[in-house]
Amino acid sequence: MHRITKITGYVAIILVVLSFNFFLPRLMPGDPLSFLTGAPGMDMPIVLDEETRAKLLTYYGLDKPLSQQFYDYMLGILHGDLGWSIYHNAPVSDILIGALKWTLLLVGTSTALYMVLGILLGAISAWNRGGKSDVGLLVSLLSIGSFPPFFLGMLFIILFSVKLNLFPAFGAQTPFMGYSSLLEEASDILYHLFLPATTLVISHIGGVYLLMRNSMLNVIGEDYILTARAKGMAEWYIMRKHAMKNALLPITTMIALRTGFMIGGTILVETVFAYPGVGRLLFDAVTYRDYPLLQGAFLIITLVIIAANFVADMVYVQLDPRLRHD
């Protein structure tokens, strides 16, 4: 029952998001052609005669009535066809995949890191609450967490790229160097990944840490912790085996949601490091009124978020036997 309401909810959300992104852009001034044919502030003006303009509109199916367009679009989605990007002049799905793999790499790596770190540190600091390590961790993590990601990114560029020249300031790969081996390419990708990922990790670790710490403090008061101690278990062991699992329960959902949102949220970091990704793609799609791409990007992002929710539920069930059986 609960499941069903959830799923219907998700479907509803997708529909809302889709129609929102379908209609809002079309209600706003400007259309995809305005960029195609040289919009203000661009370098070369292209003067379109009305006939050509009309032809172009027909070509991109923008002359049909909105209801028709919407119907076609929905139909397309059902057939897994996201349409043709007007600005990029390529299938939306291809473009999305191209950007998504980078975003996933970035988000995936940093999420893995900041979650593990955040959860561990949170647990440790809760376990020694009031102690030096606790206060130290608390203050330092809350502090670094306060840096806006884009500012942090700029600082990193100045420090690591300009002053120390340790890491590249932009891009996801050294452009077109002939990689002698896969490992070389992989390491080159990691090398470019380092700064953006670190930025993300630092700006997200604080939140998870705090969640975990609070949840842990609640658990520490529980009787079963005493039981474990009464059995003579070591503190570190109790924390790991008895406390952390229970402490994770209430926060899995929140963590999953954060991760889902990162997919769209990386845009700042992507902008600072000129890292190709969905966020940037979305931004351009908005600027160029590339309706199909805009819709596609939003669909993907929403799907990822919903997926994250599902994963959260799964994990939750895995962690909590009380839900597993019934």
Residue 11 lies near other proteins (rule: CB under 8 A): no
Beta-carbon contacts of 104 under 8 Å, excluding residues fewer than 6 positions away, are 263
Give phi and psi for 23, each to the nearest 5.
-85, -45
Antiparallel, parallel or unpaired: β 84-85 and 90-91: antiparallel
Please list every residue from 282 through 301 that binds other proteins, using CB under 8 A.
Answer: 282-284, 286-289, 294, 297-298, 301
DSSP state of 157: I
Please list every residue from 19 through 58 that binds other proteins, using CB under 8 A.
Answer: 21, 24-25, 28-31, 34-49, 52, 55-56
User: What tokens were used for 61?
Assistant: 């199916």
**Residues 91-130, mask of contacts with other proteins (x by CB under 8 A):** ---xx--xx-xx--x---x--x--------------xxxx
24 or 314: whose CB is closer to other proteins? Answer: 24
Tell the smallest beta-carbon distance from residue 238 to other proteins (Å). 10
Tell the smallest beta-carbon distance from residue 7 to other proteins (Å). 12
Helix (H, G, I), strand (E, B) or coil at 204: helix
Please list every residue from 147 through 166 that binds other proteins, using CB under 8 A.
Answer: 147-151, 154-155, 157-158, 161-162, 165-166
**CA 25, CA 169: separation in Å to the nearest integer?**
33
Segment interacting with other proteins, rule: CB under 8 A, options 62-70, 72-80, 83-91: 83-91
Residue 259 lies near other proteins (rule: CB under 8 A): no
Tell the smallest beta-carbon distance from residue 82 to other proteins (Å). 15
- 60 by Cβ neighbours in 10 Å (0-12 / 13-18 / 19+) ranks as middle
**CA 260, CA 295: separation in Å to the nearest integer?**
18
* Most distant CA pair in the chain, distance: 86
Residue 232 lies near other proteins (rule: CB under 8 A): yes
